[in-house]
Amino acid sequence: MAQPIPLELPPQDARAELRRRLEEAPVEYAEALLDSYELLQQMHEQGVFELLRGALGAKDRMVEAVADAAGSGESVRALRNGIILTKMLGAINPDVLQCIAGAAGETLGCYDKPIIEPPGLLSLLSQFRHKELRRSIALINRFLEKLGEQIQRRSKGGGGA
């Protein structure tokens, strides 16, 4: 009967192998390696590794806390509101939004606290002569009309989901 051939491999020193590979690495990697060592040292000094070890040690509790928070009504509403706001911003013409941002900057942006003296009744009425004011009021009025229509639609439809 055939006898198995014994296979004897010499033991390998893993550190010696790593050292050999490091020495054979191209010189162009040297600067990257030195930067990596410096970054690791800074992370060590700032306690990043302790924080990560703590987070890994408490991963079950962290997952439970995140799951509890994600399942709360507030989180669900916040997520839905975020999606709606994203859709709303996507629906606005960027030129119109730029106009709104410019107007807000010109009106409020240059003051810590805007100082706006309330105009008198005659002064307020005289401002209606300006096309820009009437255009802005018409825009606000249209927005309020559409908002009213949406609210009415929602109240007739059972409150919405």
Distance CA 128, CA 119 (A): 13
In a domain, 7, yes or no: no
Q: Which long-range contacts (CB under 8 A, 24 or more apart) does 125-133 make?
A: none
pLDDT higher than threshold 90 for residue 138: yes
Number of domains in the chain: 1
pLDDT higher than threshold 50 for residue 154: yes
| Residues 115, 107 contacting (CB under 8 angstroms) | no
In a domain, 8, yes or no: no
Tell me the pLDDT tens digit for each residue of 28-79. Answer: 787 888 889 899 999 999 999 898 888 888 888 888 888 888 888 888 899 9
Helix (H) or strand (E) holding 92: none
Mean pLDDT computed over every residue of the chain = 84
In a domain, 128, yes or no: yes
In a domain, 57, yes or no: no
pTM of the model: 0.44
Range of the domain at 156: 122-161
In a domain, 62, yes or no: no
In a domain, 105, yes or no: no
